[in-house]
Structure 1
Amino acid sequence: MRNFLNNLGPGILVSAAFIGPGTVTVCSLAGVNFGYSMLWALLISVFACIVLQEMSARLGLISGKGLSECIREEIENPAFRFLTLALIFFAIVLGNAAYEAGNISGAVLGMEAVFSSVSFQLGAINLNLWSLLIGGIAFFLLFLGSYKKLEKIFIGLVLLMSIAFLLTAVLTRPDLSEIFKGFIPGSIDAGLLTIIALVGTTVVPYNLFLHASLVSEKWSGPKYLGAVRKELAFSLFLGGTVSMAIVICAAASNIENIESAADLAVGLKPLFGSSATLFLAIGLLAAGITSSITAPLAAAYVVQGCLGWKGGMSSKRFKAIWMSIIILGVIFSSLGIKPVEIIQFAQIANGLLLPIIAIFLFWIVNQASVLGEHRNTLVQNIIGFIVIALSVFLGAKSIFSVIQNL
Structure 2
Amino acid sequence: MADTADTTPGRRPDRDGGGPHHGGPAPGGPGPDGRQTPAPRKASWRYIGPGIVVAATGVGAGDLVATLIAGGRFGYTLLWAAVVGCLVKISLAEAAGRWHLATGRTLFDGWRSLGAWTTGYFAVYVAIWGFVYGAAAMSSSALPLQALFPGVMDLKWWAVLCGLAGLAFVWFNRYAVFEKVMTLLVGVMFVVTLYLAVRVTPNLGRALAGLAPVLPDGSLIYTLGLIGGVGGTITLAAYGYWVNAKGWTDTSWIKVMRLDNRVAYLTTGVFVVAMLVVGAELLHSSGIALAKGDKGLLDLSGILADRYGTVTSKLFLVGFFATSLTSLIGVWHGVSLMFADFVAHFRSRGAATPGEAAAVGARERSLPFRAYLLWLTFPPMALLFLDQPFGLVIVYGVIGAFFMPFLAVTLVWLLNSSRTPAEWRNGPLSNGVLGAAGLLFVVLCVQQVRELPW
TM-score bracket for this pair, using the shorter chain length: 0.7 to 0.9
Could you say what secondary structure the match of 2:118 adopts? Answer: helix
Q: Does 1:143 align with 2:193?
A: no
1:38 to 70, 73, 78: 78
- Indicate how the Cα distance of structure 1 residues 109 and 227 shifts in structure 2: closer, same or farther if over 3 A, else same: same
Q: CA deviation at 1:185?
A: 3.3
2:236 to 207, 213, 217: 207
Structure with more of its chain in helix, by fraction: 1
1:316 to 367, 373, 377: 367
Could you say what secondary structure the match of 1:395 adopts? Answer: helix
Q: Is the 8 A contact 2:68 2:279 kept in 1?
A: yes
In structure 2, runs of 5+ residues without a counterpart are 1-39, 348-358, 389-395
Could you say what secondary structure the match of 1:369 adopts? Answer: coil
- Indicate how the Cα distance of structure 1 residues 222 and 295 shifts in structure 2: closer, same or farther if over 3 A, else same: same
After TM superposition, the score normalised by the length of structure 2 is 0.74
Tell me the alpha carbon deviations over residues 228-267 of structure 1, each in whole angstroms, 9 at most, x when there is no partner: 1122112211211221111111221134324354423367
Instruction: Measure the CA separation in 1 of the matches of 2:58 and 2:191.
Output: 15
Q: Does 1:25 align with 2:65?
A: yes
Q: Does 1:389 align with 2:446?
A: no
User: Which residue is 1:341 aligned to?
Assistant: none
Q: CA deviation at 1:352?
A: 4.8
Q: Does 1:14 align with 2:54?
A: yes
Q: CA deviation at 1:287?
A: 2.8
1:229 to 258, 277, 286: 258
2:210 to 150, 172, 182: 182
Query: How many residues were matched structurally?
Result: 384
Q: Does 1:372 align with 2:422?
A: yes
In structure 1, runs of 5+ residues without a counterpart are 76-80, 121-126, 338-345
User: Which residue is 1:220 aligned to?
Assistant: 249
Q: Is the 8 A contact 1:113 1:277 kept in 2?
A: no
- Indicate how the Cα distance of structure 1 residues 361 and 383 shifts in structure 2: closer, same or farther if over 3 A, else same: same
Matches within 5 A, 1:333-352: 333-335=384-386, 352=402
Q: CA deviation at 1:8?
A: 0.8
Q: CA deviation at 1:151?
A: 4.7
Q: Is the 8 A contact 1:26 1:194 kept in 2?
A: no
More divergent stretch after superposition (46-55 vs 176-185): 176-185
| Alignment RMSD | 3.4
Instruction: Measure the CA separation in 1 of the matches of 2:126 and 2:84.
Output: 23
Could you say what secondary structure the match of 2:76 adopts? Answer: coil
Q: Is the 8 A contact 1:25 1:264 kept in 2?
A: no
Q: Does 1:291 align with 2:327?
A: yes
Q: CA deviation at 1:304?
A: 2.7
More divergent stretch after superposition (177-186 vs 101-110): 177-186
More divergent stretch after superposition (252-261 vs 270-279): 270-279
- Indicate how the Cα distance of structure 1 residues 383 and 199 shifts in structure 2: closer, same or farther if over 3 A, else same: closer
Q: CA deviation at 1:117?
A: 6.5
Q: CA deviation at 1:113?
A: 1.1
More divergent stretch after superposition (297-306 vs 347-356): 347-356
Instruction: Measure the CA separation in 1 of the matches of 2:254 and 2:331.
Output: 26
Q: CA deviation at 1:354?
A: 0.8
Instruction: Measure the CA separation in 2 of the matches of 1:191 and 1:117.
Output: 42
Instruction: Measure the CA separation in 2 of the matches of 1:41 and 1:290.
Output: 24
User: Which residue is 1:58 aligned to?
Assistant: 98
- Indicate how the Cα distance of structure 1 residues 250 and 97 shifts in structure 2: closer, same or farther if over 3 A, else same: farther
Instruction: Measure the CA separation in 2 of the matches of 1:373 and 1:386.
Output: 23
Instruction: Measure the CA separation in 2 of the matches of 1:332 and 1:148.
Output: 32
2:341 to 281, 305, 309: 305
Identity of aligned residues (%): 21
Instruction: Measure the CA separation in 1 of the matches of 2:217 and 2:228.
Output: 13
User: Which residue is 1:192 aligned to?
Assistant: 221
Instruction: Measure the CA separation in 1 of the matches of 2:305 and 2:441.
Output: 35
In our comparison, the structure showing a higher alpha carbon Rg is 2
User: Which residue is 1:88 aligned to?
Assistant: 122
Instruction: Measure the CA separation in 2 of the matches of 1:275 and 1:336.
Output: 35
User: Which residue is 1:402 aligned to?
Assistant: 451
